[in-house]
Amino acid sequence: MRIDIVTIFPEFFDVLEVSLLGKARSSGLLDIRVHDLRDWTHDRHRTVDDTPYGGGAGMVMKPEPWGAALDAIVRDAATRPTIVFPSPAGEVFAQATAREFSGRDHLVFGCGRYEGIDERVFDYAATLGDVRLVSLGDYVLNGGEVAVMAMVEAAGRLIPGVVGNPDSLIEESHEDGLLEYPSYTKPALWRDREVPPVLLSGNHGAVDAWRHEQQLARTRERRPDLLEP
Ligand code: ADE
């Protein structure tokens, strides 16, 4: 899978060189290219923002560098990409979105800053690819970078081969619409706290049933919204 990320803070993404995604990059499973939006400016100050038409606080990202960046990235692309702009005004990112993105050949992420990007950029981007405005949740970040990091990790780990043991993807939170069951390891007694005896019983049927009950109980308590029809 190819992933292009456009940002005014390319160094933000240096951490994509570590851990499982870093390995996936070195092995060629993931081709991640990080671009500095300012490379597509032409003035001495490498300006990417300006004051909003109609007035108001803050600055808006100018359309010209975005248009040039998207043109350059899409020009040498093999397929029509999915172009994702993180935005608190977008659809909410979920495991289903991660799964969907993980099946794409080419994702382009555009990180907005300040009060956002000139709205015409989204319309133009739709001529180059399938545009998605995606929110990490109902809170406001300073820019799209942290959101892109979360999306790249959530989608990247679902690509076959990125996570060493594929079984570990099956039983985790949100895959079956429920929260994950609690996990324990040795020692069986730690600071007066016991591991639930059923897990030491060797009875796989009983373990499965207990885990499922735990999933339901946790979901009911912490995320009742997930159980609503
Ligand atoms: N940019 C600013 N806030 C954001 C959020 N909640 N999700 C995605 N991108 C954002």
The reported pTM is 0.94
Residues placed in the known binding site: 112, 136-141
Q: Is the CB of 136 under 6 A from ligand 1?
A: yes
Mean pLDDT, the chain, whole residue set: 95
Q: CATH 1.10.1270.20 spans which residues of the chain?
A: 171-226
> Domain 171-226 belongs to what topology?
Trp Operon Repressor; Chain A (1.10.1270)
5-36 CB burial, b ≥16 within 10 A, e <16: bbbbebebbeebeeeebeebbeeeebebebbb
User: Rounded to the nearest whole angstrom, what is the distance from the C-alpha of residue 145 to the centroid of ligand 1?
Assistant: 9
Q: How many CB atoms lie within 10 A of CB 223?
A: 14
Q: What is the pLDDT of residue 170?
A: 80
Domain 2-165 top-level CATH class: alpha beta
User: Rounded to the nearest whole angstrom, what is the distance from the C-alpha of residue 136 to the centroid of ligand 1?
Assistant: 6
Residue whose pair of structure tokens reads 């160094």 in the numeric block: 11
Q: Tell me which of 174 and 105 has the higher pLDDT.
A: 105
pLDDT by residue (tens digit) across 21-78? 999 999 999 999 999 999 999 999 999 999 999 999 999 999 999 999 999 999 989 9
Calculate mean pLDDT across residues 3-25: 94
Q: Is the CB of 139 under 6 A from ligand 1?
A: yes
Sheet holding 106-110, edge to edge: 31-36, 2-7, 106-110, 82-92, 130-135
Cα angle 38, 39, 41; round to 5: 65
- 7 contact partners, CB below 8 Å, separation of at least 6: 13, 34, 35, 36, 37, 111, 143, 144, 145, 148
Q: What is the DSSP string of 53-106?
A: TT--SS-EE-HHHHHHHHHHHHHT-SSPPEEEEEEEEEEEP-HHHHHHHHT-SE
Cα angle 15, 20, 24; round to 5: 95
- 80 contact partners, CB below 8 Å, separation of at least 6: 106, 128, 129, 130
Residue whose pair of structure tokens reads 């001529």 in the numeric block: 127
pLDDT by residue (tens digit) across 170-183? 878 888 899 999 99
Q: What is the pLDDT of residue 164?
A: 83
Q: CATH 3.40.1280.10 spans which residues of the chain?
A: 2-165
Q: Is the CB of 138 under 6 A from ligand 1?
A: no
